[in-house]
Amino acid sequence: PAQMRRKTSKAYADWCFDRRAQLPPEWTAVDSTSTEAKARDHLRVRFEACYPFHPATLSVFQRKWQALSQFQQTRGTLAMLAQWISWAHKDAFSKARREPLITLGSAPLDVPEFRSVVLGQLGESRLIAAIDADIAGDQAHARALDADTTGALRDIHRRVGTTTLFESSGGQVNKVAHLPELRFALGEPEVDTTSVDTAALALEDRSYFLRRVGSDGFKISHTPTMKKVVSDRRASLDEQTEIQPAMRMMIQKEFDKGAGIPRVFFPADSAAIQDSPRLTLVLADPGNEWSESGRVRNEIAEWTKQRGSSPRLYPGSLVWAVKKPGRDLREKVELWLAWRRVAAEVAEGTLGSDFDPADRADLKTKVADAGQAARDEVWGDYRYVVLSDDSAPVGLKVIDLGAGHASSGESLCGRIITALKSSALLN
């Protein structure tokens, strides 16, 4: 009805006018000779003319797609819009979210027939992998990010991804979706521009085919980003020959730094730990995680009292460092190994011709950052210090060091000794 058209158009026009500094100037530029009321009204008229579509939905084909040789401007647009309206109505009935206008973000890319029409018009069937992985597939990154979104922000990551596809897949000249364009296409009275920006950055951070371009641009293409290749390499890592040895090596390196006391790494049995009056740090294997009951606690209690079949003379000299439960360290080490492998393949020339120069230039930093994250995780994960205490349950006292991260001013051994001193367990 005309009243709904006018009311919705006014609400959107006012929203855009109030945020015109953050939106594309071609939509919101104000004639300096015009009054504010006239400018607002002019914007409302533009929204009314496109109703029930958002102006960005109709104009993207003229702004970005008309340079495509495959794009049949009128027939192509009409075929797409007809399917779009039909699915928008079905979607509104099946979901709680109902858009006042049909925006680019509402395009039903999860519907195979509609997706085929879009990719046919683009002449780029190779984009199907990008749509599945990042936007609309069952396991898409946007879907995972949207799991907790509600109300006006429901499915915001999928909508940002869909809009980016339309805004960045068109004409040969400007294959980029800029933040002002995304804000204009998806902003509405209940969604602010910062929500759109945040969703775009979060999606890019996870995506395999969506990448940053310049300071405020995003682009989806059929060539995978480095993150996709890293994910593939990570999936192919071998548990026994790569992941476990790398975890142990990283733990050993961190505990060796600035260590002032003897260390025993990952003993296979109690005989591997000397019975000596000297304070000795024993590193439990990363597979042996601390819990208040169970095998690991009982084993540590027994090995602290006994060496083989003989009672220890100096059980109080042993200090255990034990990993907290969880996969954090393993995941960080896997990521570091995967980035290293990709960097090696690029250096050898077996990989990299498809990647952005920016992606390749960033590789060294990515490897270094992944290594630092894994080292930090060693500090964070080995948080339990366990030692002999006859008055405690099962003869063990436990100190929780709390969260930690690699520090240039302190060593891991030093951190443990400081904790023992502050608990008056060491002079």
Are both 283 and 415 inside the same structural domain? yes
> What type of residue is 155?
D
Ranges in the chain, pLDDT < 70? 30-33, 67-74, 76, 91-98, 170-174, 352-354, 408, 427
Residue 276: predicted pLDDT: 95
Are both 45 and 95 inside the same structural domain? no
Are both 174 and 293 inside the same structural domain? no
The pLDDT > 90 percentage for the chain reads 58
Compute φ and ψ for 264, nearest 5 degrees: -120, 120
Say how many CA atoms lie within 13 Å of 138 toward its Cβ.
Answer: 0
Residue 96: predicted pLDDT: 44
Report pTM. 0.76
Are both 122 and 251 inside the same structural domain? no
Residue 332: predicted pLDDT: 97
- Do strands 384-388 and 318-322 pair parallel, antiparallel, or not at all (unpaired)? antiparallel
Are both 280 and 426 inside the same structural domain? yes
Q: Is the peptide bond before 108 cis (omega within 30 degrees of 0)?
A: no
- Do strands 384-388 and 280-283 pair parallel, antiparallel, or not at all (unpaired)? unpaired
Are both 156 and 102 inside the same structural domain? yes
Contact 354, 409 (CB under 8 A): no
CA-CA-CA-CA torsion sign (161, 163, 169, 172): negative
What's the domain range around 323? 224-427
Nearest residue to 319 via CA among 380, 278, 268 = 278
Q: Of 175, 196, 222, which marks where a domain is finished? A: 222
Are both 211 and 232 inside the same structural domain? no
> What type of residue is 185?
A
How many domains does the structure of the chain reveal? Answer: 3
Are both 260 and 250 inside the same structural domain? yes
Residue 348: predicted pLDDT: 85
Contact 163, 103 (CB under 8 A): yes
Residue 26: predicted pLDDT: 81
Are both 1 and 85 inside the same structural domain? no
Residue 293: predicted pLDDT: 86
Are both 15 and 157 inside the same structural domain? no
Nearest residue to 320 via CA among 421, 420, 422 = 420
Are both 112 and 32 inside the same structural domain? no
Nearest residue to 139 via CA among 91, 208, 84, 185 = 208
